[in-house]
Amino acid sequence: MELGLVGLGKMGGNMRERIRRAGHTVVGFDRNPDLTDVHSLRELVDALQAPRVVWVMVPAGGPTQSTIDELGELLSPGDVVVDGGNSRWTDDERHAEELAAKGIGFVDCGVSGGVWGLENGYALMYGGDPENVARVQPIFDALKPEGEFGSVHAGRVGAGHFAKMVHNGIEYAMMQAFAEGWELLEAADAVTDVREVFRSWQEGTVIRSWLLDLAVRALDDDEHLAALRGYAADSGEGRWTVEAAIDHAVPLPAITASLFARFASRQDDSPQMKMIAALRNQFGGHAVTAAAGGEKGADSPGADVTPPVGG
């Protein structure tokens, strides 16, 4: 199968490689000339045989809107656009309507997997009409993890990003719980090796998980997270989750509290937020901010920069 892929950053670039490893042809476009296969969206569209599928992996909001607008002028009836970024589900409904008026299909896809997705596969949650989803299915199959699970047709347009939004809200709360437990252990004089306590939980406990494994990895890198400032960004999905909960009158006390804890991290150097920042960096390559006097400058790996798409 042929695929056009727009956006070849940390996730998009690895997705291109995983899809190619599965035997598909990928024509990628990125504004970075060191990453791109073609030099414009028009060149990308011209390189694909109709009917085309073009997957968009750019930041949500303006960049996604402008990319879809341009593709709407370049593509033909029968083509399909996939938005695999972290767009809000309400944007999906508008994009689907705009493209449908031109005979172009639309699928929204929440993607989770971060910098580990190339080897482990990406969890995929997608929404759209069955015929449009079927067109993209070979690519979904190439990207998903091995085995029975890891992808789902969640429902109509918007369902994929809504499901990914809820996933990220749960992620906020889980990371917050690990962070609070870590800070309490660090504060207790009786506990002399917090890192090994965390490591001991990796087997035989009900909280063993990939996030726990990543917490241990982060503590192996920096036992007391001294090099990190206690600051953690939020990339939008946590806020949207809380807003959706209000709209649906669904109580979300844990997720809401974890979002507010991130806001608190911007007021003081929070020890809990050091763990949150470390975990986000471990699983998604998200930026971290160095502690005062630390070595991570604006140009170094892990410096405070724009977060990657997805994850």
CA gap 281, 115 in Å, rounded: 9
Q: Which two tokens stand for residue 223?
A: 């036992």
17, 28 Cβ separation under 8 angstroms:
no
Residues whose CB is less than 8 angstroms from the CB of residue 259 and which lie 6 or more positions away in sequence, other chains included? 169, 172, 234, 238, 239, 241, 242
Question: Which tokens in the block code for residue 90?
Answer: 């309400």
Active-site residue list = 164, 171
Alpha-carbon distances, residue 158 vs 55, 215, 221, 239, 303 (angstroms): 16, 32, 39, 17, 33
CA 39 to the chain's CA centroid: 26
Backbone angles phi, psi at 119, to 5 degrees: -90, -40
